[in-house]
Structure 1
Amino acid sequence: MRRFLTANAFVLSLLVTVGIATLLPARGGFATVVDHSTTVAIALLFFLYGTRLSPREAWEGLRHWRLHVTVVVATFVVFPLLGLLIGLTDLPTPELAAGVAFLCCLPSTVQSSIAFTSVARGNVAAAICAASFSNLLGIVASPLLVALVLGGQGGISGQAVLDVALQLLAPFLAGQLLRPLIGRFLARHRRVLGLVDRGSILLVVYSAFGEGVVEGVWQRTSVVSLLALVGLEVVLLAVVLVATWHAGRLFSLPREDRITIMMCGSKKSLASGLPMAGVLFAGPVVGLIVLPLMLYHQLQLMVCAALAQRLGRDVDDAAPVSTPVEVRR
């Protein structure tokens, strides 16, 4: 039991967080505090990554063009095509099918993609570039894809670009600038990075799931439709995970790059999707449109947390173990 709890501590902590958000969601002033805390946690995450990554590593990550092209194709080509097929079926209901098609048009997550890549011992430098570029590209590409897939219309203001720059790029650049001063100190305290990785994800889960509970989106559909939706999204996630992993093999990329492609190419951003849905859709249908996104967001965190821990343990188990050398007297 102790070994099981240790190996699955992060997944169990996610389940506990979902339970807390269900019973005690953030409301009123506390919800504002949670939102601000999430913003600070994400900014701190990128600041620490900026201090840890040398400029040379960041440049090497940007030069992985095959990796970045694969992530973009998975996010903005493969996913929308799957969403288009699901949208045509009207399963489990027309509104929920439209919601699944909508989530397929969204960009990748940033903080969880990078955090899971780090836990799984993937290429973190490339993950930062791939996830950030996906979010920036999604500001323009996602509304256009929604219009093509669902026939909707809408646009995204330039404020989203400014938010991404302030919340993600600015802390990372600040970390790069301060790296000569505090980089060595943080290198000796790598557990701090691990705590921030996991803590930021738990905070995002609590904030997102609690918001859904407060808005009552979980009560607007039947249990049968909800179970059918979960099954559909499990299949969708499994297909994309397998496709992105084997796409890396197709290009003969090393293991750490394949991990990055899988972690970045299989995610969909709740933070980008919720405000985008408010712009693209109107009326009470918005709640049902974002319900598949919220469920998929929780599902991808649970599954990828388990995958990341498993992949990370595989690397640790494969590492050579030094043995003491007997000295003759």
Structure 2
Amino acid sequence: MTSPLDSGKFARAGRGGLPAKDIGRLLLRCADRSGLVAAVTTFLASSGANIISLDQHSTEQHDGMFMQRTVFHLSGLAAVRDDLARDFAEQVADKFGMDFRLTEAAKPKRVAIMASKEDHCLLDLLWRNRRGDLDMSVVMVIANHPDLADQVRVFGTPFIYIPATKELRDEAEQRQLDLLRGNVDLVVLARYMQILTQNFLSEVSCPVINIHHSFLPAFIGAAPYRRAKERGVKLVGATAHYVTEELDDGPIIEQDVVRVDHRHTVGDLVRLGADVERATLSRAVRWHCEDRVIQYGNQTVVF
């Protein structure tokens, strides 16, 4: 049974709880120069839009990279969005060499979650989404093990089991791509314990977010918490980042840590690590789905 929150009836534009209907989000990035803010705000005003919030950042005082996120209200946005984007490109973006995207807050991102056997990040995302804490629509869960099927189906989300070992990688990725390509706006790796190939990342045609413990690169491979305990670590953390061809080296969206000491067992470290992974991943996913993240180089700005 679908709740009102699931259906998007009470969808929100993001922080502040504004109703999503007729709310647009304009994100842009370009070389910094005089007149950028004036050009954007003048265009929106002349189009009949009312600016609700505007956040901006320049990487340097002079000759840096300029990034801006503008939230605005425009009656009938859904009907005019394509024309608005075309006009902005012709009148503003082309002139200033801007990369931009224009989205509607009333259209939640279509999200696919990929998982293996560990359930903490997957179930946390599904639970937060059911509560309405995440502005997204989870269209499927793809897993390379069948273990979590019953737990996922409780949320009414399709669970698709596709074995994906090293030997089966090409076949598995092709099956995954057949399901994902053109059907989702974001893929979230909720402790999916397989390396994605360059071909997969090129073909999936949408961003991919991953979560992992922040022991990297010190404790790679199996049993990182045991080896961290043996080294006497004082912090347990997690990193959420966009996936690139360089393993675990994509632009970081969010990180968090929790302090530990000699009294904590390996089991304690695992439990605390799972807690911080859940919170870190959910924040990264929420910020992405609310169009708060702008990438530049191998970094991000989160508004």
Higher helix share: 1
Provide the TM-score with structure 2 as the length reference. Answer: 0.26
Identify the structure with bigger relative contact order (alpha carbons < 8 Å, sequence gap 6+).
1
